[in-house]
Amino acid sequence: MELKKSMKGFGVLFLLLISLISSAFATDVVINADVDGVEVYENDTLIGTLANNTVTINFTDEEHNISLVKEFYDTQNLTVDPTNATEVNATMELTEYLVALNSNVDGITIFDETNNETLGSYDNGFNVLLTHGDYELTLSKTGYVSQTFNLSIPTDVEINVTLVAEETTDNTTTDDSEDDTTADDSEDDEDGRTIIILSALDDDSAVSKLQGLISDNPVVTFVLIIVVIATLGSLFGVWNIKGL
């Protein structure tokens, strides 16, 4: 009975001695990162969490392989050796997620409205790399109507878009119609002048006056003959100006 008590007391003393020895050969190491809330793991065991971007952890004086982990960031694997350095600075990189683009055309330009920057030009089936966050993306291509999408990364993993071609205006028909109208107006004017001259010739009083004028003035007679011949020629298509 007394032997068991002695052995138990010896065991406690031994553990205390080991603890004292270990403490004598251990060092505090300060770990800093550019992101707060990073967790520090060693052999899958959580040994510390960064508060205000820093944490102090006591390591034995030998190499330790640790991992810095935070959601939406790439895991940083580091080696810590207190005999060489008592402070470690780490930079956490945002994880890039693949977002598949499914479209009916190639050469689509993607503009990030949220961050006011162009992400690039992409073809159907290509992947867009985006980090964690909410995005408003505008997809455009010359000759097509642009479309805007709201995405939440990494929840949304694809963009499905069908761009519709822009409508074009054709003015050819309108111009032809205006040309036809001008031609019709010109023909109407010529026909009107012909009718007025012929109507004047059909009037009895006008014919009497014309006869008196012809007998008194040969020059007027000659001019009138030319006018009548020109008028009749225009009527029957002899001097059809449009046909020239």
Q: 105-141: per-residue pLDDT in tens?
A: 999 999 999 999 999 999 999 999 999 999 999 999 9
Average pLDDT over residues 152-166: 96
Assigned CATH for 2-90 = 2.60.40
Domain ranges in the chain?
2-90, 97-161, 172-243
Average pLDDT over residues 135-151: 97
Average pLDDT over residues 199-227: 60
Average pLDDT over residues 63-78: 98
Average pLDDT over residues 56-63: 97
Same fold, 2-90 and 97-161: yes
Cα distances (Å, whole numbers) of residue 58 to 8, 55, 72, 111, 174: 29, 10, 28, 48, 87
pTM for this entry: 0.60
Q: 21-39: per-residue pLDDT in tens?
A: 555 589 999 999 999 999 9
- Domain 97-161 fold: Immunoglobulin-like (2.60.40)
Average pLDDT over residues 141-162: 96
Q: 79-92: per-residue pLDDT in tens?
A: 999 999 999 999 99
Q: 175-204: per-residue pLDDT in tens?
A: 555 555 554 555 555 555 544 444 444 545
